[in-house]
Amino acid sequence: MSTHDELDTQRDDFEDETGGEPRGTGAALPIACLVLCVVGALIGYYLLWIAGAIMLFASIVCGVLALRRHAPYRWMAIAGIVLSVIALIFAAAVISVIFFQAQQMNELLAAA
């Protein structure tokens, strides 16, 4: 029996067990995406920026997985991805301004 025939047999067994419908991931990934986005932005702003950035990246990963797996509540995944990207861009801008200001201060102190 070739591997192609084995795959057809496995697909037929899967369709018999599930009624032909592929199993979804449920609403866990889109909800996790949106929650990680909000919590990551708040933690990054108020407590520790690196922890917030890690949570924002995790939010993007959850959102992309939710969209690829055709999970319900796609709007949550899309909103989480968009808000996470906006928050990461804002964080990168703030960090670059801080480093620029530190460089300016060092130049002023060196000149004095």
Q: What is the pLDDT of residues 69-87, one digit of tens each?
A: 998 999 999 999 999 999 9
Q: And the tokens for 60? A: 């993007």
The answer, yes or no, to whether residue 112 has pLDDT greater than 80, is: no
Is the pTM value of this prediction over 0.75? no
Q: What is the pLDDT of residues 35-63, one digit of tens each?
A: 999 999 999 889 888 899 999 999 999 99
Mean predicted lDDT score pLDDT of the chain: 84
User: What was the pLDDT predicted at 1?
Assistant: 53
DSSP states of 33-64: HHHHHHHHHHHHHHT-HHHHHHHHHHHHHHHH
The answer, yes or no, to whether residue 15 has pLDDT greater than 90, is: no
